[in-house]
Every structure is written in structure tokens, then in C-alpha cells.
Amino acid sequence: MNASFPARRMRRLRAKDALRDLVAEQRLTTNDLIYPVFVLPGTGQREEVPSMPGVERLSIDLLLEETAKWVALGIRTLALFPVTPMSLKTECAKEAFNPDGLAQTAMRALKAQFPDVMLMSDIALDPFTSHGQDGLVDEAGYVMNDVTIEVLVKQALSHAEAGADIVAPSDMMDGRIGVIRDALEREGFINTCIMAYSAKYASAYYGPFRDAVGSSANIKGGNKKTYQMDPANSDEAIHEIALDVQEGADMVMVKPGMPYLDIVRRCKDELKVPTFAYQVSGEYAMHQAAFANGWLNEEAVILESLLAFKRAGADGILTYFAPKAAALLAGK
């Protein structure tokens, strides 16, 4: 063979659609997607989130209507985030475990109408605290670990009672997974899963979410760096995840998503547990801004961004693009 020609033609397997599909190492499916939704009090309420174009906050009646459409697209898991009125926020976050609270009521209504749709619920106090922190604070504004866990346990139990299939502690308190697991077992919720937000970073990418749930206005202390992780760290993430798994987490999560795909990969390689990633509000906002300006091709970039999570090792992805991606995957 003439030495000036390539010895190995990598392009051969890229020459045709069918060949490329045949050798594809990863495939994104609608089964991989979890759709986070924001729930409003009242009825007939529908509000766009300004920093998240295309994402609406919905009252329960409208949430039920929309869920029928999402189900028709093949979406099977929703993650619920209640938007709590200011008047119900307190220092002690007692609304978090109100059996008739918004999250609990929404779960009961969804389960009654869509028993096969899996419901994931957020365990953290930030939608319910007057100061916007994920836990109870002392006079200095420091988030107190152990007393916060006592409230998280009540919240988790009230969600399990309301029908949550997966409770997802996103608070980053130390030791909460073990205590929540024990409480769930004790109360008979042996099949309620825990997806731990294990490697949750103190990220500026959560800004639009905090607008959406109204927890941004006045975070006491200005940030969550005393409990969420430093973006500089990677070994620490593996340590956090390993502890949560030991304490009884069934699934773990890395958050945010795209800037932290290295953590997803390390988690999958080193711990070999069901691993999820959250393409967070700021990532969604960034993409939408580029789509709106015509700077990126919406359909292609949505699917590419989600496939990248799978390649990095994620078993599933929480994404605000879920309905759009599901429609694209169904060829709609």
C-alpha cells in the first residue's frame, strides 16, 4: 500500500446513517429523562419564568392537564418544586412538612390521575424558609446541620405519605441520608427510593431556579457555600457520594450538569452506582438565550447536550428540555 495513504480509515464507519447507528456507543431515550416542574398555589394559574423562557409554573389543575401531554410524549418521571407564598415562609420552615402543603397536594392529585407516573420530590427547606437557606439558621445565619435534619425527616415522611416514589434530598446536610432512610424504613416506606443530591456544588447556575421558586430575593448570607460544595473540588465529590451510598442512597446525583461531567464520569467509574445529573436552570437559560438569538440550532443542541450526559456515565438526566427532547426523540 502506498505509505502516503492512511493505514486505518476511521471514517469508514461514519459513511452511512445506518452504520453510524450500528456502532453508536450511547443512545439517548425518553426513559432517561426526568422533568422538573414548578407548582403554583390556587387554580387556573400559569406563569412563565422570565429567566427560563418556555418553562411555566402551573397550579395543580393545569399541571394535571399538562402532565397528560408529557405522558403522551413518553415522560415517566416528574420532579416537583413548589412555589411557596411568602406568607407561608417562616424561620422554622414548618410548611415543609404540612401534609396539605403544595408539594404534598400536587403529589396526591398526580398519583390519583397518573398512578404510573413516578414522582420525585425535593427534600430541602429553601422554599419554606423566610431567609432562603436550605436549613434552619442560628443567630449568625449559619445553617445548623442536625436540627435541620429533624425537619428534613418530617418533610421526607410527608412526601412518602403523599405518594413520592423518590425523595431527593438536595440540602447537603451531613448524615441526612442515613437518618431519612431509617425513618422511611421505620414508617414502612421500604420501597420509597432516595436519590441523593450528593455532589451538589455551590453554583451560580441555580439563579433562574431561585427566581422560579422565589427563594432568591434574600438568601441570608448571600450564598450556600457552607454546605454546598466548592467548584474547585473533585475528590471531595467522590467522598460525599460514597458516604451517601453507605448511608442508604439508592441513586446519586451530580449537580450542575454540563460543567461537571468530569464528576459524573468519576462517580460512575469509581462507585458504579445509579448516577444522575441535573442540567440546571442556568444551563437551560444559557441554551434558550442562544436559541432565541439564532446562535445555536435548538433541536440539534438539545439532543447533543443530553447525549453528552449519557456518554459521561449518567443513567438519567433531570432537564427542563424533557418535553422538547421527548418530542424530538419521537420524531415529533
Numbered residues of the known binding site for Mg(2+) = 240
Active site residue 224: no
> How wide is the angle at C-alpha 54 spanned by C-alphas 52 and 325, nearest 5°?
110
Residues pairing with 160 in the sheet: none
CB of 227 to ligand PBG, least distance (A): 9
Active site residue 255: yes
Point out which residues bind ligand PBG (CB under 6 A): 122, 124, 126, 134, 170, 206, 209-210, 280-281
Nearest to 155 by CA among 209, 92, 110, 249: 92
CB of 260 to ligand PBG, least distance (A): 13
CB of 3 to ligand PBG, least distance (A): 54
Query: Given the complex with ligand PBG, which of 67 and 279 has the nearer CB atom?
Result: 279
Nearest to 131 by CA among 98, 91, 170: 91
- Residues at the binding site are 240
Return the number of other C-beta atoms located less than 10 Å from residue 28's C-beta: 21
Catalytically annotated residue among 89, 224, 255, 268? 255
Query: Given the complex with ligand PBG, which of 122 and 247 has the nearer CB atom?
Result: 122
What CA–CA distances, in Å, run from 312 to 156, 167, 244, 269, 320?
A: 30, 24, 21, 10, 19
Catalytically annotated residue among 89, 200, 224, 310? 200
Write the DSSP assignment of 81-125 as a string of letters: EE---GGG-BSS-GGGG-TTSHHHHHHHHHHHH-TTSEEEEEE-S
Query: Given the complex with ligand PBG, which of 34 and 280 has the nearer CB atom?
Result: 280
Nearest to 42 by CA among 63, 22, 26, 28: 63
Query: Given the complex with ligand PBG, which of 49 and 312 has the nearer CB atom?
Result: 49
Question: Under DSSP, is residue 232 helix (H, G, I), strand (E, B) or coil?
Answer: coil
CB of 170 to ligand PBG, least distance (A): 4
Write the burial class of residue 331 (CB in 10 Å: 0-12 exposed, 13-18 middle, 19+ buried).
Answer: exposed
Residues noted as catalytic:
200, 255
